[in-house]
Amino acid sequence: MKGTIIISLSAKWTTILKNGLLIILGAFIYAVAINDFLIPHQIGEGGVTGLTAVGYYALHIPPFITNLVLNGLLLVIGFRFLDQKTVWYSLWAVLWISIFLKLPRLLQYQTRQTIIPAIAGGVLMGIAMGIIFRGEGTIAGSTILAKIMNRYFGMMTGTAMLLFDLIVAIPSGLIIGLQNMILTVVELYVSAVVLNNLLSRFGAKKSVTIITNQTDQVTAALSKRLKQGITLVNAKGYYYQEKRPMIYAICSKPQLAEIVPVISTIDPDALVVIEDVHSVKGELLDKIL
């Protein structure tokens, strides 16, 4: 019993350490996107990050101060409505984003082709948020509000984030100009596409459905190779009215490359249907919404 408790605590702290390091990495990439691509080219952002940019452009307030203060207030709201673990991880993310925003520019990149920093900043933003989300945190700001909307009103998190981001991004055109406001919307769109793609890959698996005359042999071979559960589904062919079980299994892409030759060796005439699926535990479903 004591050994089980020690193992459980060790696994818990390992998870916390892994998530903490992922969030630090994501916060660093996020700060690079702001310091090296958005602010130098007067491109805005959505949510609290957009307000930090506007505050810098209009009032010369250091971005790290605005980020820390506004996100701190939103995290207080988050404690009331959201899971406390997510809020603590988000606080960790906000802290490190603020620290990295205070550092000097890393890349010193400057160009007149303003679409380039908009796209590059959007890609980095999307990657950063994906990494932070993978570490079970958020960047606070509009993410906190979006999660509240998702939890209590059923609005998809991505849609709610875009809504709150645009509320800040569009009026920012009064300060940064119409062209830069349009570039801001482009950057937001790019970051949303990148983030959605990263989230869609979280828990992504392949589903394999097999119809074969050698059901027992194929099932035994797959079970031995995959070392996991395999489902047999009772099925009936309409034309010949023949009853035959279908084999259904979930596997990763590397595992798929291993099992297809096995199936072909046992039954070259087997019908194999492969589809992309998102296979995650119930409590992790919010990560792919």
Check whether residue 96 and residue 160 sit in a common domain.
Answer: yes
Tokens matching residue 234: 């009772």
Check whether residue 265 and residue 135 sit in a common domain.
Answer: no
Cα separation, 93 vs 124, whole angstroms: 16
pLDDT band, residue 7 (cuts 50/70/90): low
What digits encode the pLDDT tens for the residues 204-219? 678 889 998 888 999 9
Contact predicate 220/209, CB 8 Å: no
Looking at the whole model, is its pTM more than 0.75?
no
Check whether residue 92 and residue 141 sit in a common domain.
Answer: yes
What does the pLDDT read at residue 24? 92
What digits encode the pLDDT tens for the residues 36-80? 888 888 787 766 767 777 777 777 777 777 777 777 777 777 777
What digits encode the pLDDT tens for the residues 177-203? 788 888 888 888 888 788 877 776 665
Point out the domain boundary residue: 201, 225, 247: 201
H helices of 139-211, where?
142-153, 157-169, 173-176, 178-201
Q: Domain range for residue 8?
A: 2-201
What does the pLDDT read at residue 191? 83
Q: How many CB atoms lie within 10 A of CB 87?
A: 23
C-alpha torsion sign, points 185, 167, 156, 129? positive
pLDDT at position 248 over 70: yes
pLDDT at position 288 over 50: no
pLDDT band, residue 8 (cuts 50/70/90): low
Point out the domain boundary residue: 176, 201, 226: 201
The number of domains in the chain is 2
What digits encode the pLDDT tens for the residues 130-172? 888 888 777 776 777 777 776 677 676 667 777 777 777 777 7
What digits encode the pLDDT tens for the residues 91-132? 888 888 888 888 877 777 777 777 888 899 889 988 998 888
